Structure formats: C-alpha cells, structure tokens
Amino acid sequence: MKLAIFGATGRMGQAVTRIAHEAEDIQIVGAMSGADDPHLGRDIGELAGVGTIGVELSADIASGLLGAEALIDFSSPQATEELFAQAQRAGVAVVSGTTGMDDAGWAMIDQAAQKVPVVWAANMSRGVQVLAEVVRHAVERLGLEFDVEIVDVHHRKKVDSPSGTAIRLAEAAQEVRPDLKEVRGRDGIVGARSTDEMGIFGVRGGDVIGDHTVHLLGNGERLELTHRATDRSLFARGAVSAARFAVGKPPGRYTIADVLGG
C-alpha cells in the first residue's frame, strides 16, 4: 500500500510514520503539513526518529498525494477542506481522525465519500469501538432507571471539549435512548437531575493520552465502563489498519466497526 500522511509532524502523524515504516507492506510516498510548519523540506523519517526514508515534508497537498492509494489525516478542521478536495481529485482513499468538525466539515466529508472511500473516526482504537457497542447494549438493557453520564480525561494541550470519542459514546447511548439530552456543564442551583439528562464533561491536565468512562447510575448500584489509552501508537495502528481496509473499497462512509467486520 502506498501511503500519504497529512499532519505528518504532529504526534499522531509521527506515530503513523513509525508504524507504517515498520510494516513490510507499506510504502510512504507523501508527507504533508501546513505552510507555516518549520520542518518543511526535512525528511519525515528523520522527524519521526526512524532515519532517512527519502520523503520530504511538503505543504503541497496535490504533489504529496501523487502515487498514493490511501491518505491518513490527523490535523485540524481548518486544514481539511483542501485535503478532502484534493483526495477526491486524486482518487485516494481517506482515513481521518480529525475532530472538532462543524456542519460544513461534515458536509465536506459526505461529499468526498461520494467519490472515494472515507473512514472517519474520532478514535481509531478497536477497544473504543467495542466500548461503544457495550454502552449501547448496557443502556438498552438497564433502561430508564439508570442515569447516563460521560467523562473524558485528556492532556492539557487538547483543544476541543468534550472529546470526539465522548460524543461518539453519547451517540451510542442515544441510539437506544433518543430521549437523552446532552448537558455539557452544571453550575449553581440547577435543580434536580431529570431522567432525560446525559452529562458529558471534559477533564484536562497533564499528559493523559485519553481516558473515557461512561457512568450508568442506578439506585443502589452503578456500572462504570472505561477505556484507557496508555500508548498513543494504538491510534496509529488503528489508522493504518483502516487504510488497508479502505484501499479498493467503493466510495462511501466507513467506520471502525466496518474495519473490524462488525
């Protein structure tokens, strides 16, 4: 598989570079970043700590996609518009873990999926996908007598809150309890909690990669479903697996559940 990486100098981009470089069936053919990246022109392998691989970091998306079969994107919502447009033109499958999209961003992803296969996930972890499936089952089985609250914990530099993964877990609960209304902050005299509330809260600090807990709170008992990420490379491995899955697929929106065969 011939792979291009966008957001290649970020933590996730460098992790993808290392994982892809180690794989015998992958060749990195392009590495891209923003025009203001101070590392432009440097070898992406050197930046990722794996030595020279002959691929220089570029701000030119079109040239970075030349010869690529798949593109992995971990960047920012502001950077993705041109990226998805160029991927459509080049016929390159897209795997994106960029979060914080607005309505225009989602429309852009849907448009791209009409031309190329697109795998988008707030979290590329297989464990998080299974957690979402378990949450859906648990909320359905426990019913209205159990309150649902979600807490995500991330490092101090994370810019969006709640996390995309927390939102994904909330959506899993809402699939079986569409009455649940999201509450993203409580302060002051807010009154007793109603049965249709679902709190979603972000905790930020330190170097936490990502912890997510769904609390199911009943009378006399509670269930806490937690996923903890302890190694950032797990997301890179998930993204690379998704890229392998996407190559050769027909245009459309795909999820990590599709990648797992669920």
- The CATH number linked to 138 is 3.30.360.10
Backbone angles phi, psi at 186, to 5 degrees: -130, 130
The two three-digit tokens of residue 125, written as one number? 């972890």
Q: 241 and 217, same structural domain? A: no
pLDDT at 75: 87
Question: Which residue in 39, 115, 158, 249 is the catalytic one?
Answer: 158
Rounded to whole angstroms, how far apart are CA atoms 124 and 86? Answer: 23
CB pairs under 8 A, 24+ apart, for 232-235? Answer: 232/11, 232/12, 232/15, 233/15, 233/18, 233/19, 234/124, 234/125, 234/127, 235/12, 235/15, 235/97, 235/123, 235/124, 235/125
Q: 183 and 236, same structural domain? A: no
Q: 145 and 51, same structural domain? A: no
pLDDT reading at 262 higher than 60: no
Backbone angles phi, psi at 51, to 5 degrees: 90, 175
Q: 181 and 58, same structural domain? A: no
Rounded to whole angstroms, how far apart are CA atoms 257 and 64? Answer: 29
Cβ density class 130-168: b for 16+ within 10 Å, e for less: ebbeebbebbeebeeebbbbbbbbbeeebebebbbbbbb
Q: 130 and 99, same structural domain? A: no
Q: 152 and 72, same structural domain? A: no
Domain range spanning residue 84? Answer: 2-124+232-260
Total domain count, the chain: 2
Rg of the Cα atoms in the chain: 20
Residue 155 falls in the annotated catalytic set: no
Q: 115 and 69, same structural domain? A: yes
CA distances from 229 to 123, 147, 209 (A): 10, 25, 6
Question: Which residue in 21, 154, 212, 227 is the catalytic one?
Answer: 154
Q: 120 and 31, same structural domain? A: yes
H/E segment holding residue 25: none
Beta bridge partners of 151: 201, 213
Residue 154 falls in the annotated catalytic set: yes
pLDDT at 143: 95
pLDDT at 78: 84
Q: 169 and 120, same structural domain? A: no
Which tens digits make up the pLDDT trace of 202-257?
999 999 999 999 999 999 999 999 999 998 889 999 999 999 999 999 999 999 99
Higher pLDDT, 46 or 11: 46
CA 159 to chain CA mean position, Å: 14
Q: 208 and 236, same structural domain? A: no
Average pLDDT across the chain, whole number: 94
Rounded to whole angstroms, how far apart are CA atoms 153 and 228? Answer: 9
Residues 155-173 have a mean pLDDT of 93
Rounded to whole angstroms, how far apart are CA atoms 51 and 43? Answer: 8
- Cα end-to-end span (Å), the chain: 23
